[in-house]
Amino acid sequence: MRNGGPSGTDGRVALALVIPAGLLGVLSAWAVGAVPAAATVRFGADIAGAAVLGLAALPRLADRVEVPWRMLAVLAGLWCCLEFAVLVCAAGEVVGSGVTGLSPADFGTYLARISAGQIGVAILLGTAAITVYAAIAFRRPQRRSPDLVLVFAAVCVTLRPITGHMSQQALGSALAGVHALAASTWLGLLLALGLVVRGRRGWAETLPRYSAVALPMIAAVALTGLINGLVRLGGITPFFTTGYGRIMLAKSVLLVVLLALGWWWRRSWVAPAAAHRMPAEASLRRAVVEVSVMAVVFGLAASLAITG
């Protein structure tokens, strides 16, 4: 499938709504749970990572889809920069000086001696490797494999969750890893479809396959999120009495909304699109709506990660 063209530009502009939608999620989390400002940076890194993962996974939905290596390189570079910002914010919090008061020596100590800093360095190196590889692949199309990017992106997406606070619980690392990877795949693939797929035929080929993948992804996100929440909070009452619990409750409500929306889309969008009865512009509009709601959930999730 060819990339670019006027419709491609329109799609990228429309899908830029994920940024304000995600920030709305962070703002909502702050309103109920006093979330640090660093959650906005974490949200940006999570969205960029999901986009890179989705673009790399696109050929698995349809062989005719061409990976936009230039776009992939730009998004991976942005992801790398945002991960560095996440590291700086985390170091400032650990040291207690904040970002503005963080000295190079303290930052170096955080990277070298604190496990969270070491994990951050590994993610930084992984995202940098993806950026360089995608840039080379754009220049040398005969030597490129999206599967290599897919593996690196999956590792970078899951590395921080599997070593976070849930890793201290039984099966906590596995649950956190599955949750993060499923959420990134679910959002990233639909975001990638909106950025790359063109024409009625393109949506007819890819959307039913995405729908089949999305169902187990959202089930995994919902199940692992519920288990993680119950373990983290220790019961039902803290969902209403703590800031962390209220943010998680808001996230759960939106997941239910997305489940209902997905059920409706399968009837009113996926089936007509597969039958070539849905214009490409209408498919793009629906993708923008769903991705925007997902972005709000990602904003809430980033806030949970910072507060947790």
Token pair belonging to 301: 């999730």
- Calpha distance 54→201 (Å, rounded): 20
- Tracing tokens 């969902």 back to the chain, one arrives at 239
pLDDT value, residue 172: 76
SS3 for 56-104 is HHHHHCCCCCCCCHHHHHHHHHHHHHHHHHHHHHHHHHHHCCCCCCCCH
CB-neighbour burial class of residue 256 (10 A; exposed 0-12, middle 13-18, buried 19+): exposed
pLDDT value, residue 5: 39
HSE, side-chain direction, 13 A CA sphere, residue 174? 2
- Establish if 270 belongs to a structural domain: yes
- Stretches where the chain sits below pLDDT 50 are 1-7
Read off the pTM.
0.91
Token pair belonging to 118: 């070491």
pLDDT value, residue 10: 60
| Residues 6 or more apart in contact with residue 104 via CB below 8 angstroms | none
pLDDT tens readout for residues 118-147: 999 999 999 999 999 999 999 887 678 899
- Calpha distance 161→173 (Å, rounded): 7
- Establish if 194 belongs to a structural domain: yes
pLDDT value, residue 117: 92
Total residues found in the chain within this entry: 308
Residues of the domain holding 221: 6-307
**Main-chain phi, psi angles of 301, to 5 degrees:** -65, -40
pLDDT value, residue 304: 86
Give the CATH number for residue 70: 1.20.1630
pLDDT value, residue 71: 94
Dihedral sign of CA atoms 195, 143, 60, 204 in order = positive
Q: What would you measure as the largest C-alpha separation in the chain, in angstroms?
A: 61
- Tracing tokens 């979330």 back to the chain, one arrives at 35
**Main-chain phi, psi angles of 235, to 5 degrees:** 155, -175
pLDDT value, residue 6: 39
- Establish if 1 belongs to a structural domain: no
Q: For the chain, how many structural domains are there in total?
A: 1
Token pair belonging to 51: 């986009």
